[in-house]
Structure formats: C-alpha cells, structure tokens
C-alpha cells in the first residue's frame, strides 16, 4: 500500500479475511446501482436487461470453472453455499469431513449431526498440515453420501489433494464438496479435473464485493432449497437476485483469470521472503505453521512461550494495529475470541503457542516494502512485549 514519508500507509496483511474491491469491478457494478436497476423477474425492458446480465454472468462464471451455466447457484457468499451443499443429507447417512474446516462448514455439520447424520472428522497429518487421502479412504462406508473437504485452509494455506480424494470414487460412490473460498484467486479451477460435485466460492476473497458467492452443483446432485420463496436460481434459492453483486463477482473472476499465474508466483516469492526475514528477525521463538507447498498468500506463524509464559496473541495484534500493520489471529471470523484456533490445535500446536499465532496474508496490495515493514513491526512489538513482560496469565 502506498503512503508518504510523513504518513506511512498502513500495511494490509489480511487478504485471507477480505480483499479490496478492484476498481474495474466497481466500475462494472455501477450501472446496476443506477439506470439498470430492474428486477430480473420483470418482463419489461429493464427486467430483461437485469435477467440478461445475470445469465451472461452465469455463463462466464461457468466457463471459468469448466462447468455448465445451470450448475451455478448464486448465493450470499461461501457460508450460504456451504450450508446449501449439505441440504440433501438424511439421518443415518454418513459424511466425512476434516477437523480443520472453516466454521461455515463445521457449524452446519454439527446441526446435521444432531439430526442423525453420521459424521467422521479427520485430522490432518501434523507433519504436513494436509489431510491424508488414506485416512479419508478408511472412513468411507456403504452409507457415505458426502465428503466435504476445503481446498485451501484459511488459517495455514494448506492445500487438500482433491484430485486424489475424488479418485476414491473408483471404489465408493459419494459426492465430493469443497469449500474453495481461499483457492479461487490462486489456482485455475476445473471442476471436472478436480472431480468435485459441489464447490463454494466467495467474491470478496478475490477482489469482488462482499455478500455474493456461488455454489457449483453438478447436475447429478439433487439439493433441497434452504431459502424458500420465489423460483429464482431454478427453485434452489428464492429471493430477488442481487444483480450488481453478480456482475461484480463475474468481473472479479475475469480479472483474476487475466494474470493468475504471474500474480501467484509473485506472491509466493513475497511470502517466502517474509518467512525468511521473520525467521531471521525472531529466531528460535518462531514456529511456522504453514506448509512449504501451501497456497501463495498465507503465512501462519506462532511464538513459543518464554520461561513457560505464553505471549499474549491479542495484545500482539493490537500492538501491530497501532503500528499500522493489519493482520489476523487464526481466522478473522473467530478473532476476538481468546480460545486458540481449532486448526492449529488440530495440527498438534500446543495451546499456549497457538494462542500467540498470527495469520499474515498477502495479495495484490502487497509489495516488497510491506514485507520489510511487517517484519520490522513484528520484531519491534515482540521485543517490546518481552521487555514489558506482556504475557498471558
Ligand atoms: C474457507 C472459507 N470458507 C468460508 C468463508 C466464509 O465466506 P463468506 O464470507 O463469503 O460467507 C471464508 C471466509 O472467511 C473462508 O475463508
């Protein structure tokens, strides 16, 4: 981010929480807040303009994913898409998932479990941070209907081997759902190559607006709607469509498709540089929770206790905020809660270290100078906290 010598700009290291709206995306959306305000269900000209914009967007998004337009359901984001993806399971059926999913998967699954769906939650390999395909294979049985595993973990950046998991269907037939909210900005997505039946995406993780996402649903999956009302989205989601947001999501996907690989390799290098510089600055106290082959944008680190006393993670974030460096502890949706991240605990990180964790996430706003400023800030704040003995307890 750009500033000047008097007023250094804040350093935004929280792209996994959300990304800024790209100017081209805003521009594409504006007409739908103005003259093209029609309801896509109206039969007159303005309605037809809105309908045309939505269906054109559906086609473009489907093409990005190598899917069919009728397999795209617009939702309010990845949370709603995840909830919808589970809306076909009945009591007695089995679902396998991981213990490191986002709450937008963990919570609806808890509800299903209380209504009688059998759930297996698999922990990742603590060495690699990645879910083992063999463990999933062992969990499958004749009643397994669904495997739901995230593509990229939002806290560590670990990448799930979806293709390998989908190949397990040689022996067992099940539907495969993935929450790909953290993946789409970084990896080209071909639903057929990955072998997924359902995929949740969110526009605000890829320079689009908040409050819009999609669920890709392969036509062999028969979902129940979870929002009843009008017949929008082929009866799968009632409610007047948010035309501007749909246009924004499409523009965002077009934009990232333009230079995805070049952007991913630039950010991967910056992330590696961040890890190297941080390790040099902090030394043995630093624990790196992000696997080497993670998605480009996430570096999760934690600080070991000193003399048995853990560093106060909330205080660390607040101090960084005062210095103008914005990051997250664990996932953004749970920060503020003092409980250590379920993902880090699932990786076997001790609770005292997990509580002092930072998720630094990079993106289009990140340059070399942001890496330097982040390392300088963390080094300074941690030293100061050590000197002031700002530990928990
Ligand atoms: C992996 C993952 N899934 C789901 C979500 C929720 O997405 P949305 O904000 O679009 O509901 C997030 C955002 O934090 C995420 O990182």
**pLDDT tens by residue, 43-85:** 999 999 999 999 999 999 999 999 999 999 999 999 999 999 9
The residue from 9, 24, 227, 333 that is catalytic is 333
Q: CB–CB of 102/150 below 8 Å? A: yes
d(CA 22, CA 149): 29
**What is the distance in A from the centroid of ligand 1 to the CA of 298?**
15
* Cβ of 78 below 6 Å from ligand 1: yes
d(CA 278, CA 379): 8
Q: For residue 8, give both structure tokens.
A: 């250094």
Nearest to 288 by CA among 296, 279, 297, 280: 279
Sign of the C-alpha dihedral, residues 116, 120, 123, 128?
A: negative
State which of 104, 151, 186 you would mutate to test the pocket of ligand 1, scoring each by most atoms of that ligand within 8 A of its C-beta.
Answer: 104
pLDDT tier at 136 (50, 70, 90 boundaries)? very high
pLDDT at 157: 97
pLDDT at 31 over 70: yes
Residue nearest to atom 13 of ligand 1 (CA): 17
* Cβ of 98 below 6 Å from ligand 1: no
Nearest to 342 by CA among 180, 155, 183, 83: 155
State which of 75, 77, 214 you would mutate to test the pocket of ligand 1, scoring each by most atoms of that ligand within 8 A of its C-beta.
Answer: 77
- Number of the ligand 1 atom closest to the C-alpha atom of 331: 14
**What is the distance in A from the centroid of ligand 1 to the CA of 147?**
18
pLDDT tier at 382 (50, 70, 90 boundaries)? very high
Q: Give 339-370 pLDDT, tens digit per residue.
A: 788 899 888 888 888 889 999 999 999 999 99
Summarize the confidence of residues 279-295 as an average pLDDT: 94
- Residue 148's H or E segment, with its range, is strand 144-148
pLDDT tier at 386 (50, 70, 90 boundaries)? confident
Q: Which of 50-54, 184-188, 385-389 has the lowest mean pLDDT?
A: 385-389
* Cβ of 146 below 6 Å from ligand 1: no
159 Cα distance to chain centroid: 11
β-pairing, 144-148 vs 175-179, is: parallel
State which of 82, 148, 181, 208 you would mutate to test the pocket of ligand 1, scoring each by most atoms of that ligand within 8 A of its C-beta.
Answer: 181
Q: How high is the mean pLDDT of the chain?
A: 93
Q: CB–CB of 203/252 below 8 Å? A: yes
In sequence order, what DSSP letters do the residues of 63-110 get, joined into one string?
Answer: HHHT--GGGEEEESSHHHHHHHHTTT--TT-EEEEETT--HHHHHHHH
Residue nearest to atom 7 of ligand 1 (CA): 78
pLDDT at 393: 52
377 is catalytic: no
In sequence order, what DSSP letters do the residues of 337-361 get, joined into one string?
Answer: B-SPPHHHHHTT--HHHHTTEEEEE
Give burial (CB, 10 Å; 0-12/13-18/19+) of 231.
Answer: exposed
pLDDT at 336: 54
* Cβ of 177 below 6 Å from ligand 1: no
- Number of the ligand 1 atom closest to the C-alpha atom of 332: 14
Q: CB–CB of 276/332 below 8 Å? A: no
Buried b (16+ CB within 10 A) or exposed e, 203-214: bbbbbbbbbbbb
Q: Give 215-250 pLDDT, tens digit per residue.
A: 999 999 999 999 999 899 998 999 999 999 999 999
Q: Measured in Å, how far apart are the chain's first and last C-alpha atoms?
A: 36
Query: If you search the block for the tokens 């395909």, which residue do you land on?
Result: 133
* Cβ of 112 below 6 Å from ligand 1: no
Q: What structural domains does the chain harbor?
A: 11-20+259-387 (3.90.1150.10), 23-255 (3.40.640.10)
Give burial (CB, 10 Å; 0-12/13-18/19+) of 292.
Answer: exposed
**What is the distance in A from the centroid of ligand 1 to the CA of 280?**
32
d(CA 242, CA 236): 15
Q: Give 303-344 pLDDT, tens digit per residue.
A: 998 888 888 888 999 999 999 999 998 644 445 555 788 899
3-state secondary structure 14-56: ECCCCCCCCHHHHHHHHHHHCCCCCCCCCCCHHHHHHHHHHHH
* Cβ of 271 below 6 Å from ligand 1: no
Residue nearest to atom 2 of ligand 1 (CA): 181
pLDDT tier at 3 (50, 70, 90 boundaries)? low
pLDDT at 391: 57
Nearest to 214 by CA among 237, 239, 187, 186: 237
pLDDT at 330: 63
pLDDT at 73: 98
Summarize the confidence of residues 37-43 as an average pLDDT: 96
pLDDT at 40: 96
């Amino acid at each position: 981010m750009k500033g000047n010598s008097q007023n250094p700009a804040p350093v935004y290291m929280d792209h996994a929480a959300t990304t800024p709206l790209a100017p081209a995306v805003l521009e594409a959306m504006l007409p739908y807040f103005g003259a093209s305000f029609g309801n896509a269900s109206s039969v007159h000209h303005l309605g037809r303009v809105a309908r045309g914009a939505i269906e054109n967007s559906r086609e473009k998004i489907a093409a990005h994913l190598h899917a069919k337009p009728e397999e795209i359901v617009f939702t309010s984001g990845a949370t709603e898409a995840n909830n919808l993806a589970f809306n076909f399971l009945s009591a007695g059926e089995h679902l396998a998932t991981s213990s490191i999913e986002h709450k937008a998967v963990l919570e609806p699954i808890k509800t299903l479990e209380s209504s009688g769906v059998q759930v297996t939650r698999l922990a990742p390999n603590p060495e690699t941070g990645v879910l083992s395909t063999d463990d999933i294979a062992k969990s499958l049985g004749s009643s397994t209907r669904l495997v739901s595993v995230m593509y990229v973990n939002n806290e560590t950046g670990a990448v799930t081997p979806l293709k390998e998991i989908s190949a397990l269907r040689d022996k067992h037939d099940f539907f495969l759902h993935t929450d790909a909210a953290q993946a789409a900005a970084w990896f080209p997505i071909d639903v057929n190559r990955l072998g997924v039946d359902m995929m949740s995406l969110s526009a605000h993780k890829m320079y689009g607006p908040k409050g819009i996402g999609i669920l890709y649903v392969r036509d062999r999956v028969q979902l129940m709607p979870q929002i009843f009302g009008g017949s929008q989205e082929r009866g799968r989601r009632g409610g007047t469509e948010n035309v501007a947001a749909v246009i924004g999501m499409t523009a965002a996907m077009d934009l990232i498709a333009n230079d995805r690989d070049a952007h991913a390799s630039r950010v991967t290098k910056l992330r590696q540089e961040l890890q190297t510089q941080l390790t040099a600055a902090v030394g043995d106290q630093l624990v790196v929770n992000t696997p080497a082959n993670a998605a480009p944008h996430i570096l999760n680190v934690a600080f070991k206790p000193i003399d048995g006393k853990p560093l106060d993670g909330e205080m660390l974030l607040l101090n960084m905020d005062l210095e103008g460096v914005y990051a997250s502890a664990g996932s953004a949706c749970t920060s503020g809660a003092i409980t250590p991240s379920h993902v880090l605990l699932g990786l076997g990180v001790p609770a005292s270290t997990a509580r002092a964790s930072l998720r630094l996430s990079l993106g289009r706003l990140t340059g070399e100078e942001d890496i330097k400023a982040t390392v300088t800030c963390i080094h300074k704040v941690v030293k100061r906290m050590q000197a002031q003995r700002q530990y928990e307890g």
